[in-house]
A and B are shown apart, each in its own frame.
Chain A
Amino acid sequence: MQQYIMRRILLAIPTIIGVSILIFLVMRVLPGDPLQAMVADDEGGPTSFTEEQKEIILTSLGLNRPLYQQYLSWLLDIARGDLGFSFWRDTPIRETIQRRGPITAEIGIFAVIISWAVGLPVGVIGAIWRNSITDYLSRFSVTFFLAAPSFWLGLGFIVITVIFFTWRPPITLVQLWDDPWRNLQMTLPPAFAVGLGMAAIIARMSRATLLEVFREDYVRTARAKGVGEQMVVWRHVMRNAMLPVITVSGLQLANLLGGSVAVERAFSVPGLGAALAQAMNDRDWMVIQNLVLLFAVIFVVINLIIDLTYALIDPRIRFR
């Protein structure tokens, strides 16, 4: 097992290096280099840069060095914990991450909790009372929430609360430890918007795997032995059906990182995703570069953790 863990961790390192190279290349080599993007808006206008000014900026940002030097110094800076500055706001990117990261993490964690609390009962009930009216209703809503984009649910939520309650979730950053009540008002609605979609996936997955497990021989054996139905469901079926559901849930947690960008924009929640969206609209290239890398690293790490827990639960995987 230890060997397996080591191998998986070592395999993740080249992936992360590859990711950093790809990010760097996309940001530097594709048409529209960072400086071009920054000055593009006032091309030829009274505020546009002269050639000398451009040269000075390029030098101060280190953009006129060879590409490999720029790449290596970027990685070295990150290794030293120096994530650079936002070009427009002059705030350290590290501070942005520390302030806004908790908000996004909160939304993610609440969303996962909501998805299990809603999705699992729906899936289990659907599987047990198969083809009942409850089952049809739940399958109908599952199909709907699988398709509805979370950011649209978010916009709909705001429309409803504004029109009917003249209230909307707060949009100024409040940390959980400063003012828990206001912070929850800010993070719970987006968590629901994301969580319902994830709940639909969990409901669908758990219903399907439960039905599959119900047909297994050992379930029939248990029933034949005279084990009570409750015991059959909890001891024999649930235990074996939950593995794939856990995997799907983990994958969803990771995809939520990408989804957070649009959802946070929909709620105007000041999280990391909103910071990334803002930076992309501003062409704030250092912020984009570092935040995308952060998102990708978190994604790789979450996937790694899922794989490892899976191997922990299911011994067959370790020996592949």
Chain B
Amino acid sequence: MDANTTEVVRQRRELTWASAPLVIYGASRRFVSTSPIGAFAVAFLIVVGLVALLADFIAPYPPLEANYSMLRHSPTASHPMGNDFLGRDVLTRLMFGARTSLIVAFSAVAIGKSIGFSWGIVSGYMGGRFDLFTQRIVEVLLAFPGIILALMLLVALGSGVFTVIIAISIGGVAGSTRVIRSVVLSVKEMPYVDAARAIGATQLRVMLLHVAPQCIAPAMVVASASLGGAIFAEAALSFLGLGVPPPNPSWGNMLNSASNEFLNPLWWMVVFPGMAITFTILAFNLFGDALRDHLDPKLRGGLN
């Protein structure tokens, strides 16, 4: 490579980095104009994220402080979402619960999907005995309905934020492995992969630089679609008393304490955390759909 080419490459690289904000700005404008609903969902999620981040500053009360004069008190002006069975402010706990739920959902999806992503690439690319054997494991993992596998793991590992993340992420590995593997199976037949192999690229290089980039878009679609599922899983596990343990609030365990009073249910303990869960899942679903339409032009403007 002569000095001139190196210089051109260097300039090109600088140009790409300098224009990154512009590219991102352009991409998000396109996203907003093609799918306003998706953009609205993102805006809602940003608000939820900010509330979770800033809960320490904006929450009106400390999340764990009991107030025995306000036990099970219905909403008032100073406690707009009422108080729970220890007199703790429901709005405050909802804000801190957002933090727990989002942390659990994002880390579970990040861990589970990275494992599924790498597993799918290796399994699809290597093929042969490795593929045959590990796909049987995937089948076994897929034979557990819904949250049952996560529940069982939590029984064995004990409850806690960290174990909930592990349980949910293991529950999400198998599905994404399948998706990515099928993408790899079609990508590895492409002529440019053959070309890379023909000029002597190592297996690892082909996998990382030629096959993996093709899987990023589908992986993002899978990941964004499963964020809502992870919020649901955390809520369900904590609702069953096996997830995030009290006293720290999560949306799921707030519903759990609501359901403990099943003879005289407190409507504000049911309505507000449930709304938070539902609308967050809703926003993640809408965002996932919009992202899929955005990244996959084949589907754009198709069925709806």
Residues of chain A touching chain B, judged by Cβ–Cβ distance below 8 Å, are: 14-16, 18-19, 22-23, 26-27, 30-32, 143-144, 146-149, 151-152, 155-156, 158-159, 162-163, 168, 208, 211-212, 254-259, 261-262, 265-266, 268, 276-277, 280-281, 283, 288, 292, 295-296, 299-300
- Nearest-neighbour CB distance to chain A for B85, whole angstroms, equals 15
Once the chains bind, are A296 and B282 in contact (CB under 8 Å)?
A: no
Can you identify 10 A-B contacts, CB atoms within 8 angstroms?
A: A23-B152, A30-B156, A147-B279, A149-B277, A155-B255, A155-B274, A159-B271, A211-B303, A281-B242, A292-B152
**10 A-B pairs with least C-beta separation:** A258-B146, A18-B140, A147-B282, A30-B156, A152-B274, A258-B145, A147-B281, A257-B145, A299-B145, A148-B278
Contacts of B151 in A (CB 8 A): 261, 276-277, 280
Mark each residue of chain B from 92 to 107: 1 if its CB lies under 8 Å from any CB of chain A, else 0.
0000000000000000
With contact pairs A15-B140, A32-B157 given, residues A262 and B240 touching in the complex (Cβ less than 8 Å): yes
B residues with a Cβ closer than 8 A to A are: 136-137, 139-141, 143-148, 151-158, 228, 232, 235-236, 239-242, 255, 258-259, 262-265, 267, 270-271, 274, 277-279, 281-282, 285-286, 303
Given A152-B277, A155-B274: A258 and B156 interface contact (C-beta under 8 Å): no
The 8 Å CB contact of A149, one of B155, B263, B278, B285, is B278
Is there an interface contact between A261 and B157, defined as CB atoms closer than 8 Å? no
Contacts between chains A and B (CB distance < 8 A), count: 148
Closest chain-B Cβ to A236's Cβ sits at a distance in Å of 19
Q: Which residues of B contact A281 (CB under 8 A)?
A: 240-242
List, in ascending order, chain A residues with CB within 8 A of B286's CB.
143
- List the A residue with the shortest CB-CB distance to B289: A143
**A122 CB → nearest B CB, Å:** 15
Contact yes or no, A15 B143, CB < 8 A = yes
Distance in Å: Cβ of B97 to nearest Cβ of chain A: 14
Tell me, in angstroms, the Cα distance from A144 to B274 when the chains sit together: 12
CB atoms of B236 and A31 under 8 A apart = no
| Least Cβ–Cβ distance between B270 and chain A, in angstroms | 5
